[in-house]
Structure 1
Amino acid sequence: MRIHIIARDIQRFDAVGNFCRQIHALLLAQGYDASLAAENCHPDDRALIAKMPETIGTIGADDLVILHFSTEDPAFPAIAALPCAKILYFHNITPERFFAGIDERTAGLVRQGLQQRPLAAGFDVLMANSRATAQVLHDGLPPQDQRRITEAAIVACPPLIGADRWDGIVDQPSNADADARTVLYVGRLVPHKGVTQLLDGFATLAAHDAGVRLVCVGGPPDQAYAAVLSARIAALPPSIAQRIEFLHGLSDGALKSLYRNAGVCASMSRHEGFGVPLLDALSFDKPLVINSEAGMIETAGDAALVVDASDAEAVANALAAALDDEATRAQLGAARRLRLPALRRQADGHLILNAVTQARTLHRARIV
């Protein structure tokens, strides 16, 4: 038996690509014959990552497939029809409403991706990066399959293996320094990540706190959104604008240095499946301020202050409390000490290994 780990894209420095590689390493360490396959990857990685859809023709009836579903995938129907054991891992797909009128091409792609959810019914085991994402997947199943496959049966599993990935990374200096008065955002620079809302909240705080700074790591944004962010910052008083910095292309060592030295981590994202940067913030024992969004709330638990991102005053007040209020900081610290071990247990790889065993068992029962 060979286990085929498949995604449309297995790219470097990408959450889906990283998770695929981690699963591959886990399975090899457990003695499985495992391989990676993708339509798109870095050219230098083709020796390790087989081509899709060509790989489909090599998959035998005794093999097992783990398909990562995070975007519209032309190979999805053919994989769903394979007569072997199959696991589907759904990373969630940002709804088209977040792109309509801004990026019509992406709006069309995500719409097509969500329209593929009915194909999930052809898999033996369904997995998702959170319970919130599991609900999105279940909502996309046809009614008859919703009755057959309960939402509770979808396995919630964080999209990474090993929550202590920073332990082996050495701090490196970056182009920006962070200190105890720094608000740090790490994530993509796209409209639904709420970066403009974070800018508004920070500016409200910075208007009466001359010591705070904002560092945003991610991107670079596309040209249209870069113009939006630039205009937003240009409209601020120079004394505030000069305390905002955007960085991209950082090494892991430089990012580790920023995490270690920042005062608070924040995200006003309006759509998440699982917030990996939130887990990173917990790992560095940092207070969190997040938007009231289901995926982020599920990831952080009680270890974050939750606000309405559209209320700049509320965002500013939460940032101030996370930076300066000792009672709030102590409360968040206690919550972090409970939440982080729970996430570590969920991300230790056992859920993936259990899914492999379950998929093989269910598949055998169906073909007997």
Structure 2
Amino acid sequence: MSTRVTIGVDAHVLTGKYQGTRSTLTNLLRALGGRPDPPRLLVYTEDPATARAAIGVAAFDYVALPALGAVRRLLDFPRLFRRDGVTIGVFQYIAPLAGRHAVFVHDILPLTHPRYFPLAMRVRMRVFGALAIRRARVVLAVSEHTRAAVLARYRLPPERVRAVLNGPSFAPPAYAGARPATPRYILNVGRIERRKNVGLLIAAFRKADLADVRLVIVGAVDAGFAFAPPCDPRIDLRSRVAEAELIGLYRGASLFVYPSAAEGFGLPLLDATLFGIPTIASNRTALPEVSGDLVRYFDPEAADAVTTLAAQIAGHFGASPIPAPDAAQRRAQAERFCWTRAADAFLAAIDAR
């Protein structure tokens, strides 16, 4: 990478709510900082001390963002970048109208699957997301599925849209030593919103009617989404779970189910395969790219989706267990989806801008 390049990263998501953008940026920055020749990089955040502790890379500069709100913050970035000698800015989805930038696009689901998103989010993606994508020196997509969706919608030259595949949520040692717990439980992880199909999973779990199996759902309910689990002692909804507890839940799960109707990547699904958990997943969007032939699929939008998923769940705990990924398959997953490769792909994309 050219030594003349100084990268400025809009990292306000690092101190916001937990979501895929936060996990992706945190892990990518750690991998960039762990290189023998880390790039010249400035991390712009409202809380530099917290961001520095989360990333753990002393080689980066952590720059305080003024508390201006989302719109004024974006408008202020060109001034900040000129002040600090930044060559190219890196943003999530939406970027300033001035200056040279790369934009991370985790998905364009508000446009391809609008029924799952509120009007404001659809308009924001249609107007401001489109402007950022069309103006970007390079678009960074977290999956080949998202890259293909961006290319199809915006008709950009293929070299301007690069895949920077996500890596896992946890450090490699976390994925060793998984052993199903007793009593047995099914695990689901992710934000709870309409497209995640948590209600479908609950309906299928109850239809499977397994008296000695619990369902553990880990995730916070999105604002504006009306959701409440049924009064069933076998269903355990948890939010604000610490990393160590979440790793323990993955390690002890007898089955992982990821019924989401639409994903730009699907980090929890990748994690489940790396932990070696037997898994059932939706066959939609990026999920087959992430899990390949390691999981059992179903169509969450089919008329008989609840019945099909219930049968798969019951079969796993009965006469038709779903095989877990073996050691060789898990190694192949870890090699394909790793943050070191993501950092290489990111720097190659920036250097080719």
How far 1:224 moved relative to its partner?
A: 4.9
Say whether residues 1:66 and 2:66 are aligned partners: no
Distance 1:351 1:256 in 2: 22
- Aligned CA RMSD, in angstroms, stands at 3.1
Distance 2:6 2:225 in 1: 44
Cα shift readout 1:150-186 (whole Å, capped 9, x = no counterpart): 3x863222334x6652626999xxxxx9536311001
**Residue pair 1:125, 1:355 contacting (<8 A) in 2 also:** no
**Residue pair 2:137, 2:160 contacting (<8 A) in 1 also:** no
Say whether residues 1:97 and 2:101 are aligned partners: no
> In structure 2, what residue type is equivalent to 1:56?
P
How far 1:217 moved relative to its partner?
A: 0.6
Equivalent position of 2:274 in the other structure: 283
Q: Pick from 50, 56, 62: which aligns with 2:64?
A: 50
Cα shift readout 1:58-77 (whole Å, capped 9, x = no counterpart): 325761322222xxx4xx24
How far 1:201 moved relative to its partner?
A: 0.8
**Residue pair 1:128, 1:134 contacting (<8 A) in 2 also:** yes
- Residue aligned with 1:59, SS: helix
Equivalent position of 1:27 in the other structure: 32
- Residue aligned with 2:13, SS: strand
- Residue aligned with 1:278, SS: helix
Say whether residues 1:312 and 2:289 are aligned partners: no
Distance 1:212 1:283 in 2: 23
Distance 1:190 1:265 in 2: 18
Equivalent position of 1:122 in the other structure: 135
TM-score by length of 2: 0.78
- Residue aligned with 2:286, SS: helix
Equivalent position of 1:174 in the other structure: none
After TM superposition, where is structure 1 displaced by more than 4 Å over at least 4 residues in a row? Answer: 41-44, 168-171
> In structure 2, what residue type is equivalent to 1:132?
H
**Residue pair 1:205, 1:317 contacting (<8 A) in 2 also:** yes
How far 1:214 moved relative to its partner?
A: 0.6
**Residue pair 2:169, 2:267 contacting (<8 A) in 1 also:** no
> In structure 1, what residue type is equivalent to 2:184?
R
Equivalent position of 1:107 in the other structure: 119
Aligned length: 319
Equivalent position of 1:103 in the other structure: none
Equivalent position of 2:262 in the other structure: 271
**Residue pair 1:217, 1:247 contacting (<8 A) in 2 also:** yes
Distance 1:265 1:347 in 2: 21
- Residue aligned with 2:186, SS: strand
- Residue aligned with 1:333, SS: coil
**Residue pair 2:175, 2:274 contacting (<8 A) in 1 also:** no
Q: Pick from 103, 124, 143: which aligns with 1:88?
A: 103
**Residue pair 1:181, 1:262 contacting (<8 A) in 2 also:** yes
Distance 2:182 2:291 in 1: 23
Q: Pick from 10, 16, 20: which aligns with 1:15?
A: 20
Distance 2:25 2:317 in 1: 36
- Residue aligned with 2:312, SS: helix
Sort the Cα spacing of 1:153 and 1:318 in 2 relative to 1 into closer, same or farther, 3 A. farther
> Structure 1 stretches of 5 or more lacking a match?
101-105, 172-176, 235-240, 364-368
Cα shift readout 1:284-321 (whole Å, capped 9, x = no counterpart): 11011112212112111111111122521100122233
- Residue aligned with 1:349, SS: helix
Range with bigger deviation, 12-21 or 297-306: 12-21
> Structure 2 stretches of 5 or more lacking a match?
53-61, 66-72
Sort the Cα spacing of 1:351 and 1:222 in 2 relative to 1 into closer, same or farther, 3 A. closer
